[in-house]
Amino acid sequence: MGFSRGMRWMGLVCAGFGVLTAASPSPARLSLKSASVLVLDQLTGQALVEKQAEAVVPIASLTKLMTAMVVLDAHLDPRESLTITADDKDELRHSRSRLPVGTHLPREQALLLALLASENRAAHALGRTFPGGLTAFVQAMNAKARELGLSGSRFEDPTGLSSGNVATAWDLARILEAAYRYPEIRDFTTRPETTLQSGRRSIQFPNTNALVRNPRWNIGLSKTGYIEEAGRCLVMQAMLANRPVLVILLDSWGKYTRLGDANRIKQWLEARLGSR
């Protein structure tokens, strides 16, 4: 199944799924606050909602989906112990972390924390301990982007802290589709929370996407992102109106508006395409 870039908002018929007519509300009339939006029927690849979906923009921690795929593709030992070092500290934006320098954790748990809690130190450690180091890891990320046919994507680091990590909404749909094939990514990104035992301390890490804890949502994959240049971002695979849908929301200006956009899209699709 491929995604057709040629489809625009003009009334799309999804065979067996219902009809979006020319009289249907446009994305603007949906009051979507995200600057770039793409909602795709995962079965047909048809765009159900599209707004500035070909703009190349920073993607912040959505990057970690690519990081996870590169790590899993390398078939490294998931039980190997990694150590968080001073090299993993964010010297670019000085973001906070709940992983102290000196923390030991298995690679699999570092991947879980990078995806579920968007832990930058965990993501950086995954890249730093890759065979060949961080340079080789970033090269592997860009090679994976070429393999997936991502024409607007470029990666500079495994965390997404660099504003040089960029993609289009269409590219992110391909990343979502590819990431959905990895059971570990589906599992790790949709757990409500996880706990890290660090010495005598138990550290709780909630999922950065509150919608995974909402019983009204059936989410199969999720990732959030934020840096100033990217705004608030959210990508998900979810069941909406009884069909698998990919949702990409980029550069939302408020802390909660990406969640509001997701809920508005859900209500709109279920009202027009049915929730049977």
On whether residue 103 sits in a domain, the answer given is no
Domain that includes residue 189, residue range: 13-71+132-195+204-273
On whether residue 106 sits in a domain, the answer given is no
* pLDDT 10s digits, 85-119: 999 999 999 999 999 999 999 999 999 999 999 99
Instruction: Average the pLDDT over 195-211 and give the result.
Output: 92
Active site residues: 61, 64, 118
Tokens of 217: 């949502």
Instruction: Average the pLDDT over 14-33 and give the result.
Output: 48
Instruction: Output the pLDDT for position 29.
Output: 63
Is pTM beyond 0.75 here?
Answer: yes
Band of pLDDT at residue 198, cut at 50, 70 and 90: confident
Contacts of 180 (CB under 8 A, 6+ apart): 186, 220, 221, 237
Instruction: Output the pLDDT for position 12.
Output: 31
More confident residue, 198 or 21: 198
Do the Cβ atoms of 188 and 196 come closer than 8 Å?
A: no
* pLDDT 10s digits, 166-197: 999 999 999 999 999 999 999 999 999 999 98
Supply the mean pLDDT for the chain. Answer: 89
On whether residue 83 sits in a domain, the answer given is no
On whether residue 110 sits in a domain, the answer given is no
Band of pLDDT at residue 30, cut at 50, 70 and 90: confident
CATH number reported for the structural domain that contains residue 174 in this entry: 3.40.710.10
Instruction: Specify the number of domains making up the chain.
Output: 1
Instruction: Output the pLDDT for position 242.
Output: 92
The 8 Å CB, 24+ separation contacts for 7-12 are: 7/46, 7/47, 7/50, 8/47, 8/50, 9/47, 9/49, 9/50, 12/46, 12/47, 12/48
Would you say residue 7 has pLDDT above 60?
no
On whether residue 33 sits in a domain, the answer given is yes
Q: How far apart are CA 71 and CA 229, in angstroms?
A: 26
Q: Which residue has the tokens 């765009």?
A: 47
